[in-house]
Chain A
Amino acid sequence: MTALLEVKDLKIEATAYPPGESPRNITIVQGISFAVEKGKVLGLIGESGAGKSTIGLSSMAYGRGGVRITGGSVLVNGVDVLQAGSAGLRSLRGREVTYVAQSAAAAFNPAKKLMEQVIEATLHHKLMSREEAEARAITLFARLGLPKPETIGNRYPHQVSGGQLQRVMTAMALCPKPDLVVFDEPTTALDVTTQIEVLAAIKEAIAETGVAALYITHDLAVVAQVADHIMVLQSGEMVEYGTTDHIINRPTMDYTKALVSVRSIEHVEKSGGDPVLSIKGITARYRGTNFDVLKDITLDLPAAQTLAIVGESGSGKSTLARVITGLLPPSAGSITFNGRTLAPDFEKRPRDDLREVQMIYQMADVAMNPRQTVGTIIGRPLEFYFGLRGDEKKQRIQELLDEIEMGEGFLDRYPAELSGGQKQRVCIARALAAKPKLIICDEVTSALDPLVADGILKLLLNLQKTENVAYLFITHDLATVRAIADSIAVMYQGRVVRYGPKTDVLSPPFDDYTDLLLSSVPEMKLGWLERTIANRKMEAAGN
């Protein structure tokens, strides 16, 4: 059987424009060869910057923002698309090869109804009449498990949820009956409970329509559920290629092994101890609204331990952080910290209260002033709280940099000159500089690649031992929670639905929501998706 997509010795370059220097060519992807047969799914996996999206788009002969395909060949149905010319590409794109983007919210035109956009490519290529196309779209909507498939096409993009929008985009890609679909991180921006549904829908649609697919993601556990073969990429080069079973169960390269064993930090929970932070009956709402975002929250966090707050987006986890820091004074309840009652508004808190509660943000990029050097960013709290100046300050900054395992040579760098993981480390150093008793970590690893995130988690655990600092760890990722938490609070729609020591919270019997949440976390096992979906169907039938 001949391959549908055959990529040989692909080389992709771009031009970099470093400020103050002459432009130079950089190689993004080199020496990549693979083939995808009809009805098969190839997973492309790697960290950000590994070139996976670039390779995916090359199957449509498309280079994003100045990226050029400079070598090799890409054969779709035996035709080299790199030599196709613009007319040839126009008939290829949206007909033979289609694309599903990561952010559905950004990929849809908000001014047009969904149906118009779903059938646009099909009509453009004159593949079907409008009636046929609409009928096919409705069939696809039903197959992808969208509610009210007959009428959902009449809605606008903002009228459906993120997970539904992602499925509509999948329908858009499948509508023209393509030979190949490129899925570019289709579930990355979704909550786990939504991700599993979209994943199941995509897998089913691929199986029923018999298309071939490239599935791009950074999450090995996800790709293990849908792909037949997996290619592991690092810095634009292939690390390992094999069947899904081979990659997951018998990886040969060190890098692949690291990816497979990621999130396997063992953390023995601590218990007991006097609480450093007690929250009692907190209810809060945003100004000008009549809806309580937090409802009667009561939690305790013992000194030098970690309390994880888990929930999906919109559950109120970040709002809880804002209440504790004093950015959002609660409408009822009290916060006791270190035996003192904290003022509801941070502007009324004494300097020591502010110093002892520090915060680390999700996006390290915007948590640091881009116009300040690393030295200033870490040095300011030292100067502000402890009055350190000159050499004394410099020495302490270097100590902190050593503590976050970064070493010398960073003092005069700007944040834009750091990698994602380094940025987050600097933010940790800034928080540590204040010698806090509590650090609130708001999704600190969710914007990072798995291996980098692993490093950050290990660093946080070590720092907890040496600095005796308590963490309030806000996350939607249960694997992270297992790695770091001593106790867990599960939040759902502004309430704590389950709260206790880690092992208790993570062992049955579960309440409905925790069960759903826990069973939705992808496991790095073949067939996990089918088993989970089958279990849910059985339970639903049993009820």
Chain B
Amino acid sequence: MRIPLAAALGLFFTALYFGAAIFAAWIAPYGAAEIIGDSWESWSWAHPLGTDSIGRDLLSRMIWGGQTTILIATLGTLISFSLGSTLGFLAAVKGGWVDQLLSRMVDLMMSIPSLISALVVLSVMPVTLPVLILVMGILDATRVFRLSRAVAVDITVMDYVEAARLRGEKQLWIIFREILPNALSPLIAEMGLRFIFMVLFISTLSFLGLGVQPPMADWGGIVKENKEAIVYGVPAALVPAFAIATLAISVNLVADWVLNRTSSLKGGRG
């Protein structure tokens, strides 16, 4: 199996970030909240990325922060996809009032900008990790619902779905065995994109102070803590920004490649 260069690059960086997140406890030189020096020390062998606003090791915070950010984004994406695509397929297959009810509810939710609804919900709920993940997952599921419904509506009118219905198949078989395999390509492409929107979303919330709460680290929070440093020419705030950008690009390179592998109809999946 040959992996194209772009995909290899994407795989490398994605693996790097996810690996660092999973093995944070072994890799990170210091604890996330350990104060080990002066504020905003410059880059050195002891502290490759320097220190942050209150003298914590920035590399360690980046690794711990990556763990939080990637965990929230991954779980949020999983929730939004399982919820959004199942309901989207159901709406397409059932049609009629089920479709109307689900679609109009989603319209209603989408009519309020998701950042504002998130801010409102999070200001009245306790901001814990499960709540954050759930809120983000549900808000994002509306977008996935739209896409999967649109894709599935085109598939449900195909003769093979009609044949399955006439055979007497249950809705679950039709959704997961007839429609899902044929809707996979656009959904995978969307998944790469949605994951990145999740990373941006949680970073935005943390930057605004309603996301991950200190002393826990996450990339958005690190930007917020170090934003004043830019005035003094210290690049501490740019490090997490760079991490977010490279993660975004590499995840999408991988998604593109997976898409190419799965869109062949001649059994070319692997």
A and B interact physically:
yes
Where the two chains meet, the residues of A that have a C-beta atom closer than 8 Å to any C-beta of B are 19-20, 325-327, 346, 349, 351, 354-355, 357-359, 361, 363, 366-373, 380-381, 384, 412-417, 430, 434
Q: Which 7 A-B pairs have the closest CB atoms?
A: A371-B181, A416-B265, A367-B159, A354-B168, A19-B268, A369-B160, A19-B264
A367, B160: Cβ atoms closer than 8 Å? yes
B166, A346: Cβ atoms closer than 8 Å? yes
Which residues of the partner chain B approach A361 to less than 8 Å between Cβ atoms? 159, 163
User: Closest CB of chain B to A250's CB: distance in Å?
Assistant: 43
Instruction: Give the docked Cα–Cα distance between A366 and B158 (Å).
Output: 6
A369, B168: Cβ atoms closer than 8 Å? no
B182, A366: Cβ atoms closer than 8 Å? no
A354, B159: Cβ atoms closer than 8 Å? no
B162, A369: Cβ atoms closer than 8 Å? no
Closest to B270 in A: A20
A363, B167: Cβ atoms closer than 8 Å? no
Instruction: Give the docked Cα–Cα distance between A327 and B159 (Å).
Output: 12
Beyond the given A346-B166, A430-B163, please list 11 additional residue pairs across the A-B interface where CB-CB is below 8 A: A351-B168, A355-B167, A358-B166, A366-B159, A367-B160, A369-B160, A370-B265, A372-B181, A384-B167, A384-B169, A434-B167
Closest to B168 in A: A354
- Identify which of A327, A413, A414, A434 contacts B162 (C-beta below 8 A): A327
Which residues of the partner chain B approach A346 to less than 8 Å between Cβ atoms? 165-166
Which residues of the partner chain B approach A19 to less than 8 Å between Cβ atoms? 264, 266, 268
Asked if B190 is at the interface of the complex by the 8 Å CB criterion, the answer is no
Interface residues of B in 173-224 (CB under 8 A from A): 177-178, 181-182
B166, A363: Cβ atoms closer than 8 Å? no
Asked if B113 is at the interface of the complex by the 8 Å CB criterion, the answer is no
B166, A325: Cβ atoms closer than 8 Å? yes
Which residues of the partner chain B approach A363 to less than 8 Å between Cβ atoms? 159
B167, A381: Cβ atoms closer than 8 Å? yes
B163, A359: Cβ atoms closer than 8 Å? yes
Instruction: Give the docked Cα–Cα distance between A430 and B169 (Å).
Output: 15
Closest to B169 in A: A384
Asked if B267 is at the interface of the complex by the 8 Å CB criterion, the answer is yes
Which residues of the partner chain A approach B182 to less than 8 Å between Cβ atoms? 369-371
User: Closest CB of chain A to B89's CB: distance in Å?
Assistant: 15
Closest to B180 in A: A371
Assuming the A-B contacts A19-B264, A416-B265, A417-B267, are A369 and B166 also in contact, with contact meaning beta carbons closer than 8 angstroms in the complex? no
Instruction: Give the docked Cα–Cα distance between A372 and B264 (Å).
Output: 13
Which residues of the partner chain B approach A417 to less than 8 Å between Cβ atoms? 266-267
Assuming the A-B contacts A19-B264, A414-B266, A416-B265, are A369 and B167 also in contact, with contact meaning beta carbons closer than 8 angstroms in the complex? no
User: Closest CB of chain A to B100's CB: distance in Å?
Assistant: 15
A20, B166: Cβ atoms closer than 8 Å? no
Assuming the A-B contacts A325-B166, A359-B166, A384-B168, are A366 and B266 also in contact, with contact meaning beta carbons closer than 8 angstroms in the complex? no
Closest to B161 in A: A369
A369, B267: Cβ atoms closer than 8 Å? no
- Identify which of B166, B168, B267 contacts A327 (C-beta below 8 A): B166
Interface residues of B in 138-176 (CB under 8 A from A): 158-160, 162-169
Instruction: Give the docked Cα–Cα distance between A412 and B267 (Å).
Output: 9
Which residues of the partner chain B approach A369 to less than 8 Å between Cβ atoms? 160, 164, 177-178, 181-182
